[in-house]
Structure 1
Amino acid sequence: MKKAIRELGVGSLLLVSVVLPTSAQQAPAADSVIYLNQAWSQDDRDWYYHFSQGSVVLSYDIFLNLEVAGGQELFRSDANSERYGLITQPPGSPFNPDGLPIGISKTTVAAPVGDWPAGDYAGPTCALCHATQLNYKGKRIRIDGASANMLDLQAYIQALNAAMRATLTDAAKFDRLAARLGAASPEAKARLRERFERQALATYEYATRSAATFWPWGPARIDALSMISNRVTANLPGIPENTSTPIAPVKPPFLWNAPQGLWTQWAAIIQDPLARNLGETMGVYMPINLRAKIPADGLFESNAAIPELRRVESQLGRLAPPSWPEDVFGKIDREKAKSGKALFMDNCASCHNAWPYRWTEPNKYGKRFVLVGLTPQSYVGTDHTQAEAIRPFAVTGQLGDHLPPELRGKDAVPLEAFKKSIQRAVLERAVAKLKLTPAELLEVNGYRELPQPPAPDRVYKAAPRDGVWATPPFLHNGSVPNLYEMLVPASERSKKFCVGREFDPIKVGLDTTCGPGTFVLDTGLLGNSNAGHSFQEGPRGNGVIGPLLTDEQRWALVEYLKSIPEEPGRVTPFGGPPEGQLPQK
């Protein structure tokens, strides 16, 4: 173990170089944040920000007292959290007594799972990537369920790894940590070191395998699908041959209307919310035992928090898209927005849908779902890397004898089938422990008909645009800085731009002014293309999705996108509106 730690320590020094220097500030007081009407109470928000989804990274007491790699500042401090784009919170909420940033929660592991003993841990929750704050002229506007446009998750993971490595290799650092935790005797220090070393190795593996890339993703972008695949098929079962390089970063999608939509994820790959939400936790540190020989020994056991995932899905089902705050960002030109609405209906609504939305026919449970456009990548022409990032085949290793009959006993199988088989086994074991009634099981699966239909191949999902103004940068991979540039010919878009932290209410997006703390996004790099979804002269297809617009038309469309939803706090009814309120087809 000590040899491994010494070897890993060298890698940690290399990782520090990607950490971006940024200005930082203390957590703003709760009453200084502007909350928009999204139909949630403050209690809803406080719970969402810090509920436990079952993920664990580091013992809670260690996380509260760990220092950064290059100094004695605490890693969990507001200043350091701000450095990586986390949204800091003051203490006071019953769900967050220690004043942790949004998306970091305290998780209790009640019984040992694999290498994780029972105890209290710090871990991420979905709000880390699905809540944002728009900064404008000193004001902070909170958007719940939006894309975390300042979060640099890759750099944060790497900085945590560097902090852990530095603490294990620097005797003075370790002694300070031990003193904070009351580990004074040699025996207590030895127990702390053993616990810390074991957890540090897991983070090192995550930082240097699951999130390892040739160039950094930067803020607002994560290759979540590759990271989930790597953890489930490579890291946890100990089969490094199955690792895929995460070269297809995307911005986290916004979550309002997600429970109501027919398909979710950028590539429209899943319908069942339980499989979607539990799959996400599998990618971010949920303890899972994939090394036991047989299920009787704990194989497929996990720390799944299904009741909490059930609640968050229900709560997201009543989350309203945010309305443009005219008192902060300026008045909407209603006449211009009206012209933009007509243009949207002519050029965009066939894919993106518009309120009151087009719905599916009722399924066997009587539920309708919002139709989302499924546009072939070859037509829309946007970056294609997501469909190619994950390796095609997987080595099954010791799990080969525990796969479904069609895969059982094979040394190598399609990776996607391997991953889904593991996820299904983990899910079924977790659900079985709860002894849910048929009605409860139906609810937790979002009233979807199972098995779900095959996912469409190589498409991008075009969901309704209500509230999209609050979710820069744009396109699935965050390669377009503002809404205005979404409406020009793709060749005229910025090829390099700085990703800053200030909102631009004119072009509606991120301020691209370069300066300290900004990140330069180069759209010429693999996975970063901002081609496609182009409005230009020529036949439709191959990246052209609409006609060349005049500048007046572009600004009218921007104004319309600022204006929706037209009713603040409007929640899309789950399961569909009453029959008499359905839109005409």
Structure 2
Amino acid sequence: MRLFYRVLSGLGVALVLGLCVVVYFIANPKLPAYTAPQHVHYQDQWSEADRQLYYYTPQGTQVKGLHYYWFSALELPFSTQRFAAPEYLARFGFLIDPQQQASAANPANLPVGFTRHQNPGSPVEYLDITCAACHTGELRYKGQALRIDGGPAQHVLPSSVPTLRGGSFGQALVASLAATYYNPWKFERFARTVLGDNYEAGHKQLRKDFKASLDTFLAVAWNDTYRGLYPTLEGPGRTDAFGRIANASFGDAISPDNYRVANAPVDYPHLWDMWTFDWVQWNGSAQQPMARNIGEALGVGATLNFFDSHGQPLQGDQRYPSSVRVNDLHLIEETLQRLKPPVWPEDLFGKIDRPLAAKGRRLFTENCASCHVPPVVEENGRLVKQLKMLPVEVIGTDPNTATNIADNRYDLSALQWDPAELASMNVNLLPKSEQPLDMHQLSVAKGLAYVTAFVEKRAYQDAAVSSQEQARLNGFGLPIGVLELRAYKARPLDGIWATAPYLHNGSVPTVYQLLSPQSERAQTFYRGNFEYDPRHLGYRTDAFDGGFVLDTRISGNHNSGHEFRAGPQGNGVIGRLLQPEERWALIEYLKVLGGPLEQQLPNE
């Protein structure tokens, strides 16, 4: 019997030690080291005033009720170092400039895209992560950094699902929040920093409010983990945007029955010239700028209420209060219309081989222009690029994003929408159908179209925006258009050299590999390295401590399609085999495409 208790005690000790190890590694994510660049170079993509406006204009996200100054006062779980220290947040891939200082727009001296807002009638300043956090890039080479405004970010932002590897900003943030609340010494320091002279009067309420925010984070982490909602790890620079928006808007806010597995991570697209496209999103499913931006804000954490305090669906003008800021969203959109594509910096990355680029220009015309040089038409006084939509079976790239958006169905009947009212709204569903909408099984694109229409209407009402002004803020008088195709769009390639990795899911690390057959592409490679490869046009992919290994054999990560190889075209083969010297010529031309250096190329 004594032996039995000893064995039982030993197992208990082992279990506790194992739990301690798990907690330690969850609270100490394995992150890459951060080495500050010698200098951050900014291009003439827009003015410094536009840059700062884009970086720090709030859009109405609230990051689960987290206050701005709470975030800036948090400590790491096992030290007194500030969680929001720029050099620590940079380890997640967020962008800082070693020379940056706190300012009126950025009082806590946080990375690009971290800002704050107050809701009307509330003194609380919420942490607001805006679109600049995900749509600003940086390339590093020989100790120098080149900021790419409007380029894809490479941070690890969304996931709060705990793993022993760690590396996710969401997971690390939850660990710091929990350590602050449950460690009395940490909470004491935190409370005195946040409350200052109001410490005695506000301590009790602060602890209550902080716990409410922590509970929200923990509930999301548990829900996402328990339900296995995100089986394909996203890693740096990727998120399953539509999947997360749908799970937040239809699962969290309406019914658990609406949760769907999100296994289609996509890279953050670059934004220059986006406002000239007829359709946006990787699958070309959205049209109106304001609705697109409201959907993005809802996905990042803007509040949204479908029901009243008694659980009854809101009706009429009561639908749907949110924290989205339509005037600020329009201000960001206007700023992006002034954004220029980046220009190849010969002083940083090397001189252009102009004769080789001229050969590449001919190859581009022969092999790429039919998809990537869209026709331009005039619509309502603006020039619009009509992008080519390539069906999944033609382009052959990973289908999950396109098929999930088109095929997943959600039950929104609890909202009690009136079909006659929906028909009168500024929503245009394509392709058109004579079949009535079934509220028990709406696609994510259709469901979000009507949600954003109601949110948009209420936000305009709350902001006292006149009906005449609404058409302008919507963007070019466009309706909330929805195009449901199992396809991906081909966009213009100006500045494409600055937007690695490639394909919609970031599964091909360099342009050189994108121009190669799938058999010559890396099956696995490291993501999260900011070091640029100016020869192959992409980030360096060799192993590094704390890096994320992207495995292209996993569903959602496939690197198939968009192939140039011998044999019949179709099923992902879009052109003939390009010889290595032809690929190098194309690469040289893509460095200058759409920029001033293109005009300097000689005639062949």
State yes or no: 1:135 paired with 2:140.
yes
Report the CA distance between 1:236 and its aligned residue.
2.8
Distance in 1, matches of 2:25 and 2:442, equals 32
State yes or no: 1:255 paired with 2:263.
no
Deviates more, 1:239-248 or 1:13-22: 13-22
- Residue identity in the other structure for 1:464: P
- Residue identity in the other structure for 2:210: F
CA contact (8 A) 1:129 1:151 kept: no
- Which residue does 1:176 correspond to in 2? 189
1:246-395 equivalent positions in 2, closer than 5 A: 246-292=262-308, 293=312, 294-295=314-315, 298-353=318-373, 358-360=375-377, 362-363=378-379, 365-389=380-404, 392-395=408-411
CA contact (8 A) 1:86 1:101 kept: yes
- Which residue does 2:151 correspond to in 1? 146
Deviates more, 1:467-476 or 1:151-160: 151-160
Distance 1:411 1:513, change over 3 A: closer
Q: Which protein has the larger Cα radius of gyration, Structure 1 or Structure 2?
A: 2
- Residue identity in the other structure for 1:41: S
- Which residue does 1:100 correspond to in 2? 110
Distance in 1, matches of 2:352 and 2:78, equals 47
- Which residue does 1:3 correspond to in 2? none
Distance in 2, matches of 1:91 and 1:318, equals 26
- Which residue does 2:43 correspond to in 1? 36
Report the CA distance between 1:515 and its aligned residue.
1.6
CA contact (8 A) 1:375 1:461 kept: yes
CA contact (8 A) 1:244 1:389 kept: no
Report the CA distance between 1:209 and its aligned residue.
4.5
- Which residue does 1:202 correspond to in 2? 216
- Residue identity in the other structure for 1:161: V
- Which residue does 2:256 correspond to in 1? 240
- Residue identity in the other structure for 2:40: V
CA contact (8 A) 2:152 2:499 kept: yes
- Residue identity in the other structure for 1:332: I
Q: Deviations over 1:134-162 (max 9, x none)?
A: 11111010000000034454311221122
Distance in 2, matches of 1:402 and 1:102, equals 42
Deviates more, 1:484-493 or 1:71-80: 71-80
- Residue identity in the other structure for 1:374: M
Deviates more, 1:199-208 or 1:157-166: 199-208
1:377-456 equivalent positions in 2, closer than 5 A: 377-389=392-404, 392-396=408-412, 398-400=414-416, 412-416=440-444, 417-437=446-466, 439-450=468-479, 452=481, 454-456=482-484
CA contact (8 A) 2:287 2:478 kept: no
- Residue identity in the other structure for 1:558: I
- Which residue does 1:189 correspond to in 2? 203
State yes or no: 1:50 paired with 2:56.
yes
Report the CA distance between 1:232 and its aligned residue.
1.2
For these two proteins, the number of residue pairs brought into alignment is 546
State yes or no: 1:519 paired with 2:543.
no
- For structure 2, the residue ranges without an aligned partner over 5 or more in a row are 1-18, 160-167, 424-435, 600-604
Report the CA distance between 1:438 and its aligned residue.
5.2
Deviates more, 1:13-22 or 1:83-92: 13-22
- Which residue does 1:460 correspond to in 2? 488
Distance 1:209 1:397, change over 3 A: farther
- Which residue does 1:474 correspond to in 2? 502
Report the CA distance between 1:491 and its aligned residue.
1.9
Q: Deviations over 1:25-60 (max 9, x none)?
A: 46x79xx3101121x111111111111111112112
State yes or no: 1:73 paired with 2:87.
no
- Residue identity in the other structure for 1:232: S
- Which residue does 1:114 correspond to in 2? none
1:503-514 equivalent positions in 2, closer than 5 A: 503-514=532-543
CA contact (8 A) 2:230 2:262 kept: yes
User: Quick one: which of 112, 118, 127 aligns to 1:122?
Assistant: 127
CA contact (8 A) 2:319 2:454 kept: no
SS at match of 2:115: strand
Distance in 2, matches of 1:108 and 1:169, equals 28
Distance 1:410 1:367, change over 3 A: closer
Question: What is the alpha-carbon root mean square deviation over aligned residues?
Answer: 2.8
Report the CA distance between 1:421 and its aligned residue.
2.3
- Which residue does 1:582 correspond to in 2? none
CA contact (8 A) 1:397 1:411 kept: yes
Q: Deviations over 1:79-106 (max 9, x none)?
A: 2211110002422443213211001101
CA contact (8 A) 1:210 1:245 kept: no
- For structure 1, the residue ranges without an aligned partner over 5 or more in a row are 1-8, 112-116, 571-585
TM-score, normalized by length of structure 1? 0.87
Distance in 2, matches of 1:18 and 1:178, equals 23
CA contact (8 A) 2:27 2:77 kept: no
Distance in 2, matches of 1:538 and 1:415, equals 37
Deviates more, 1:126-135 or 1:560-569: 560-569
Distance in 1, matches of 2:556 and 2:355, equals 39
Distance 1:271 1:23, change over 3 A: same
State yes or no: 1:163 paired with 2:176.
yes
Report the CA distance between 1:451 and its aligned residue.
5.3
Distance in 1, matches of 2:180 and 2:87, equals 19
